[in-house]
Chain A
């Protein structure tokens, strides 16, 4: 396996350890780079990787662009529809409602996270906190239990595999061919060789991220400044840094395994096993086990509980007291004599009652999902793939927490709408048996729904994902150091 071996011959200078190290590094880098450039297998792996990465980036960019255009057009049409709905009773307008659509940040093209599995829009209407509907997965063709080609898949799953292919023989090949004594004798620090070879490996893996970077740049250029993030630059920087740390971790792991293993086969077996466990098994097992952290109710049980409580009128004694208070306040004896619209007052009460019911049920549900998020993130200490997956989707605003932020903002907007409509209704009693009707001025007074994902919580980001990711890198580097020491001092076989 020439693709994975490096026969490096160096003439080390004796003028200073640092200079020796630098020269050894530069020489090893050049030698490794030259050798890999000549190797057709490296070209094959890279061509395949780049081809996949380019396809994934292109497809993701097209998908995102299409989804954004469709959502922008639909949001604009809804806004127009709302304003031009004509004269009607505010409560009828409240039932007419509006649909709002979830905005997609550019980074979601690289890591679509949960976007395929959550609804894209929600109907904001009177009396109901509706669920988000029309999950893209519902329109898929049965491919959902397979790997979907996305730039995140390429970077999180395929790039480490390519690094294993390209690097498992980094030192194991020299040991297997009996060249280890020569490597020890040539005077170049093994650490410098390892760093150089690891860096070449990292650069090759990073080249697979180029199509994604290009896609991002194109999307940003196409979208202009319409980004639903308040901190897109910070997110992009952390996004890049996160993937750099992740791939560097794999470069260190490959170096460690190759330096430690007695044969190339053993190095390959170790790395494939590690890849399978860390990238395939742990992330899935983590999301399964997280269910136990905070079980979720069934949708029908949740809806029934909400309907039961909504169906119960709020405290009749309290309603009666409120009515009497209002009658006394205006010095009238009957509701029909009130200078305010009793229907509007009732709707305000009804919405307040409904909001309390929704908060009572959706609050614990969202808390349980948050608890599962935290449980999943704990697995980041076991697998860098879990840590980078969580970090990447949080920064791309395509994770569960960002989705819930949108859901809550949409619900907040619904309540604002209902409040304005019902208040207006309450202020305008029916005259002469004719129901009050509002017009465009009222519809326009309700601002259109605009949503920006909140700025990332730096401390949470660090503790949940960056720290495990950095710890993974530190452990991988420590393993590489131990393996190199063994390579330097241990048996040559």
Chain B
């Protein structure tokens, strides 16, 4: 143990004596801080947008309450002379289809600043309308598309793509330099095994650099407020540090295998960069290709056409479907007019439901195709350490695909509640209006002031809970073990060759 510690001390001291090492580490830390800054900036913007949405929702509700108070106190006031029912909140139809402002927001997790993940593609705040999920399905935040296409520079990008290059550079001389300078034989004669030199030096250099990265980035995150300095924030920092350690261990093992196999530093640098290219770019791209080829998603143009066909069909069958609707809801059935003659503003939610029912098969087809592609990609991700690391960082930040899917599921259930609520309100209002017709919107008819009772979205506790490390992230350990074994096997082979 003492000998190992001495080896570590000597190695790190000589490493830090090199100006190149210091420059490399300084540059790496600057790039990491910049990544953190961009992640935090994105997170700040997201939170500001969420707060603005919440303020907009509350403001619209307050304004509606005030307007309703004024209107129902004196509907004949001149200020309401040009009131149009379809765009005023005091009429339930105007409120349901136009004036109602409801948002659903995905709560931010404490580690959100660590990775933008897919948050720029899948928005964290969506407008929920009573009529359909269309506004949710097509929701997108305004972003310059080049930013999405080129990719974000965040801490995840730094750690996943750039940090391995730093580790490979720091460890490329382990064993190879001793081989080049013919010092290895003398070291071996002193009883220090090449396995020990390799694993201890590669491990120590990686661990030292990684610890430095974790300490400085965590400190910067906590001091700058990018991560809250509370228990949840510290937990997120600890989880992030764990993933960074796991991922660094993998690249340290790769570096060990490279150094065990290569005769000199040049070959090690060459092989290291080659492996980085393979793991960072080629393998993930190949996985993407495999997922796209093996699990194709039908073109969305077909979805658009199916929706148009369905809408034509629903419009053509309006009378029959309304008759069926009122047969199944006799409590809402108009008493003085035929079901097919109800106003389009009254049957609008039913029409949306019919459209949804007609589109069910197509929706299922797209959902299945998308699910199959996601499942296949997730399954294949075990073959790509980069993909595993990406997934782990995005999950820690709460900006991953799975969490967003969960969020959209909850939004869907909320939207159904909202639609049912408005359906009941509109149908009862239509009945009331039929019985006591009033010249202008009135209470007992379409008049509306129950703004506080309209369902609002509340994210479940599951969406706010700190995420567990994805089970697949542990596959990184298997990869690490595999490369470490490869390194040891290469050294054993070299020893056998030397004996011969």
Contacts and interface: CB of A to CB of B under 8 A. Distances in A.
B149 A73 contact: no
B308 A304 contact: no
A376 B304 contact: no
A265 B52 contact: no
A395 interface: no
A121 B289 CA distance: 24
Contacts of B123: 299
Contacts of B145: 114, 117-118, 400, 403
A117 B121 contact: yes
Contacts of A157: 281
B279 to A, nearest CB: 11
B300 A121 contact: yes
Contacts of A264: 266
A141 B138 contact: no
Count class of interface residues, chain B: 35 or more
- Most B Cβ at <10 Å: residue of A137, A365, A369: A137
A313 B277 contact: no
Given A71-B301, A134-B138, A288 B148 contact: no
Contacts of A149: 285-286, 288-289
A165 B274 contact: yes
Contact of A147 (B31, B266, B285): B285
Interface residues of A, number: 87
A297 B280 CA distance: 34
Interface in B371-404: 373-374, 376-378, 386-387, 390-391, 394, 400-401
B118 A142 contact: yes
Given A99-B304, A284-B152, A300-B56, A141 B121 contact: no
Interface stretch (A74-82, A180-188, A436-444, A484-492): A74-82
A138 B291 contact: no
Contacts of A376: 144, 146
A372 interface: yes
B302 A143 contact: no
Interface stretch (B4-12, B154-162, B329-337, B460-468): B154-162
Contacts of B53: 298, 300
Nearest to A369: B144
Given A99-B304, A143-B287, A283 B270 contact: no
Contact of B140 (A78, A135, A140): A135
Contact of B165 (A133, A136, A272): A272
B52 A77 contact: no
B225 interface: no
Given A55-B289, A296-B144, A304-B56, A281 B266 contact: no
A68 B288 CA distance: 21
A133 B138 contact: yes
Interface in B273-329: 273-274, 277, 280-282, 284-289, 291-293, 295, 297, 299-305, 308, 312
Interface of B: 31, 34, 38, 41, 45, 48-49, 52-53, 56, 82, 87, 98, 101, 103, 117-118, 121-123, 125, 127, 138-153, 156-157, 161-162, 165, 169, 265-267, 269-270, 273-274, 277, 280-282, 284-289, 291-293, 295, 297, 299-305, 308, 312, 366, 370, 373-374, 376-378, 386-387, 390-391, 394, 400-401
Given A114-B149, A161-B277, A272-B269, 7 more contacts: A118-B145, A131-B138, A134-B138, A143-B287, A143-B288, A153-B285, A265-B265
14 contacts: A67-B301, A77-B305, A77-B308, A119-B138, A144-B148, A147-B284, A265-B266, A285-B34, A288-B147, A291-B144, A298-B48, A300-B56, A316-B82, A369-B144
Interface of A: 1, 48, 52, 55, 59, 63, 66-67, 70-71, 73-74, 77-78, 81, 99, 101, 113-114, 116-121, 131, 133-149, 153, 157-158, 161, 164-165, 263-265, 268-269, 272, 276, 280-281, 283-285, 287-288, 290-291, 296-304, 311, 313, 316, 365, 369, 372-373, 376, 389, 393, 399-400, 403
